[in-house]
Amino acid sequence: MLISIITINYNNKLGLKRTLKSVRTQTFSNYEHIVIDGSSTDGSKDVLEEYKSCFSHCVSESDSGIYNAMNKGINAAKGDYLFFLNSGDELLNSKSLNKVATYLTDEDLVYFNINRVNNGKIKQHTIPSKMSFFYLHNDTIPHQSIFIKKELFNKVGLYDESLKLVADWKFIITALIKYNASYKHVNEVFSNFYEGGVSSSKGSFEAMEKERQLVLKQEFPILLNDLKYKFKLERTLRTLRKSKKINWLAKLGLINKF
């Protein structure tokens, strides 16, 4: 089994070096490392030259965005499973791939927990073992924590390049809900995600939400209607729980507290 590690980079020299170093020090050997650089001008090309012997494929050329670069990586990949470790992020230690490989059996998606690093502080982000439309509506599986079977891209398609911020989320929710992709959660941490990228900035949250709602309306209109009804019921329940009359009746034993 071959693992394809795909790293995309644009003007993140220091982060790129951290990522490449974490891959180069792996004790696991059955992997290929693909690097897609967006024609950086900050010295990243010097880093790529320094590490060039470690790559199976490396290009530095202009692209139309993050997902265009990620799709280039997918097209170049020859592995059974693909893993996106973009510049700045890193594998936890030198034995990470060795451990991960034991879990890559036959599922379409194999994901684990990650460490979120912000200003030197580390917080573990635990992802649910069971997926649901409700969870995926609000969140996703970070690409730094998921190994995707290459064949799944042949079924679902590549990342939607018309989206600027949520194409990876669209791929995951489409694969799980529409294509019933198989998945497995590993309750361990194998990578560090450094916050501060495009999707981490506060200014991007509103744009991300607009893109998500667009995808949901286009791809899952019926499920979205059900979810809106669920939200309505939850709001009604919260209102009732705050009602003085309801609490008074519960104290009298006339109704059960809910």
Residue 249 has pLDDT above 80, yes or no: no
Please tell me whether residues 59 and 145 are part of one structural domain. Answer: yes
Q: How many domains does the chain have?
A: 2
Q: Residue 124 is which amino acid?
A: Q
Q: By the 8 A CB rule, do 22 and 54 touch? A: no
pLDDT in tens, 72-130: 999 999 999 999 999 999 999 999 999 999 999 999 999 999 999 998 899 999 999 99
Range of the domain at 33: 3-219
pLDDT in tens, 154-172: 999 999 999 999 999 999 9
3 state DSSP class of 50: helix
Please tell me whether residues 211 and 239 are part of one structural domain. Answer: no
3 state DSSP class of 194: strand
- pLDDT band of residue 197 (cuts 50, 70, 90) is low
- For residue 201, give the CATH number of its domain: 3.90.550.10
Any bridge partners for residue 117, and if so which? 122, 194
Among residues 162, 152, 153, 159, which one has the least CA distance to residue 214?
162
Please tell me whether residues 205 and 183 are part of one structural domain. Answer: yes
Kind and range of the H or E element at 13? helix 13-24
Q: By the 8 A CB rule, do 150 and 77 touch? A: yes
Please tell me whether residues 80 and 183 are part of one structural domain. Answer: yes
Q: Which residues contact 121 (CB under 8 A, 6 or more apart)?
A: none
Please tell me whether residues 193 and 76 are part of one structural domain. Answer: yes
Q: Residue 243 is which amino acid?
A: S
Please tell me whether residues 120 and 204 are part of one structural domain. Answer: yes
